[in-house]
Amino acid sequence: MGARSRRWRTLRPYVEGMEKLIIEGERPLKGEVTISGAKNAALPIMAATLLTDEPCVLRNIPQLRDTRTMIALLESLGKAVQVDGDKVTISSTDKMDCVADYKLVSTMRGSFCVLGPLIAKLAKAKVSLPGGCVIGIRPVDLHLKGLKALGAKIEIENGYVLANARHLRGSHIYLGGMFGSSVLATANILMAATLAKSQTIIESAACEPEIENLTQFLIAMGAKIKGKGSHCLTVTGVKKLRGVSFKIIPDRIEAGTYILMAAATKSCITVRNGCYAHLMGLIDKLDQAGVKVTEEEGLIKVRPRKTIKPIGITTHPYPGFPTDLQAQFMALMALTQGVSVITDKIYPDRFMHIAELNRMGADIRRDGPNAIVNGIKKLYGAPVMASDLRASAALIIAGLAAKGRTEIHRMYHLERGYEALDEKLTALGAKVYREQESL
């Protein structure tokens, strides 16, 4: 194990199912919340450090269960990791390994993006398949298609992807799938292509800000990439990448979640360190619903009207409405005076939160790929079960707006993606605390 900072070491140990989150609802929020670094940018960027032997210093890394899992994975692959607050230094040792174990990869899909860097750097990799999860089946065919196009030989054996490639060679790759482009497949192929021979063109690449941030990191390391932030990335392979110091972008999903918390509790709050431009898909819909979100001197201000209008949304790849805010937006729509239709085009089955929101008095039904939300006047606190990260965030929004006490069980899901959530909410004036689960 690499050295860990005091702050991360003193994080409460993660004991699945041992704590629940209690929310006493109907308290307006006020003040300012500071957004942490983006989980989904941090994970592939941490994996990209496998592409160099030189040390990399990453700043604004959020302290989350998922980033801790990535640190453990990098350490298992032979990297030495030092953590000092939000600064993480990742260095090589002389014992690099190419096996990413099931135990680590199965807990978090983001782990799968060590595959591309491992093949590119070590010429071989054995990475556990991530498997499905509650938000859908989540295949990896696009990752494998892209790596095969670069010349990797791929076999699936006993739940692992075995990949070999003495020399990756540039190729012209189309990465579009049934549900549009893939964020982590783009990350994997882009990282692998940086050390491939000659030129790779990735068509239908994901252009999420997290991929743009990864591209910036790779360019800083010496990679030759054109088309940053677009659907077409052209990579000219280089022999070697260098270590760099780099800052992760703010988490747009965390920022969006706090904005929706303010909207649902009819509160005016200020969001510090958020990136307004990354949130336009949400801000446009909120504007139609009657929630003003503005950018003033680098801060995001949220000012909801007294009544929120029902607005339908359909999730799309960036810059469309993000699937990672669908559940939270549904919690807000549950409190309007009318009907809204919510469709998830990225994960058509990402609706586990409906049943739990209905336990709190919401009137939402599933109709194929749509959720039909009949707005109601009030939600009521209830014991509810978190099923995944963003569904849990939706329950928090509902709990903050609801009358009475909400108990969110399996709150460890929240710790995967929201840094210091209870502290940040308490600072905003919410009454939120943890209790031990009774056995």
For residue 121, which of 157, 92, 143, 88 has the smallest C-alpha distance? 92
Which of the following is catalytic: 56, 98, 133, 207? 133
Give the 3-state DSSP-derived string for 355-395, with helices as H, strands as E and coil as C. Answer: HHHHHCCCEEEEECCEEEEECCCCCECCEEECCCHHHHHHH
Sheet holding 269-272, edge to edge: 31-34, 269-272, 299-304, 291-296
Would you count residue 389 as binding ligand EPU (CB under 6 A)?
Answer: yes
Residue 334 Cα distances to 25, 120, 373, angstroms: 15, 47, 6
Integer-rounded Cα radius of gyration of the chain: 21
Would you count residue 310 as binding ligand EPU (CB under 6 A)?
Answer: no
Would you count residue 329 as binding ligand EPU (CB under 6 A)?
Answer: no
Would you count residue 321 as binding ligand EPU (CB under 6 A)?
Answer: no
Compute the least distance from the CB of residue 351 to ligand EPU, in Å: 14
- In the set 324, 356, 419, 422, which binds ligand EPU (CB under 6 A)? 324
Q: How far apart are CA 105 and CA 96, in angstroms?
A: 18
Would you count residue 353 as binding ligand EPU (CB under 6 A)?
Answer: no
- The phi, psi pair for 348, rounded to 5°, reads -60, -15
Would you count residue 373 as binding ligand EPU (CB under 6 A)?
Answer: no
Would you count residue 143 as binding ligand EPU (CB under 6 A)?
Answer: yes
- The CA-CA-CA angle for residues 39, 42, 43, to 5°, reads 85
- In the set 9, 13, 166, 178, which binds ligand EPU (CB under 6 A)? 178
Q: Which stretch binds ligand EPU (CB under 6 A): 85-93, 178-186, 303-311, 419-427?
A: 178-186
Q: Which stretch binds ligand EPU (CB under 6 A): 53-61, 171-179, 267-275, 427-435?
A: 171-179
Measured from the CB atom, the residue of 92 and 181 that comes closer to ligand EPU is 181
Contacts of 251 (CB under 8 A, 6+ apart): 35, 36, 37, 38, 39, 40, 41, 62
Measured from the CB atom, the residue of 89 and 111 that comes closer to ligand EPU is 111
Site map (CB under 6 A) of ligand EPU, residues 246-285, x = contact: ----------------------------------------
Would you count residue 369 as binding ligand EPU (CB under 6 A)?
Answer: no
The two structure tokens encoding residue 249: 């972008």
- Residue 133 annotated to the active site: yes
Q: How far apart are CA 116 and CA 31, in angstroms?
A: 43
Q: How far apart are CA 215 and CA 414, in angstroms?
A: 28
Residues that bind ligand EPU (CB under 6 A): 40, 43, 109-110, 136, 138-143, 177-179, 182-185, 206, 323-324, 346-347, 389-390, 417
* Positions marked active-site: 133
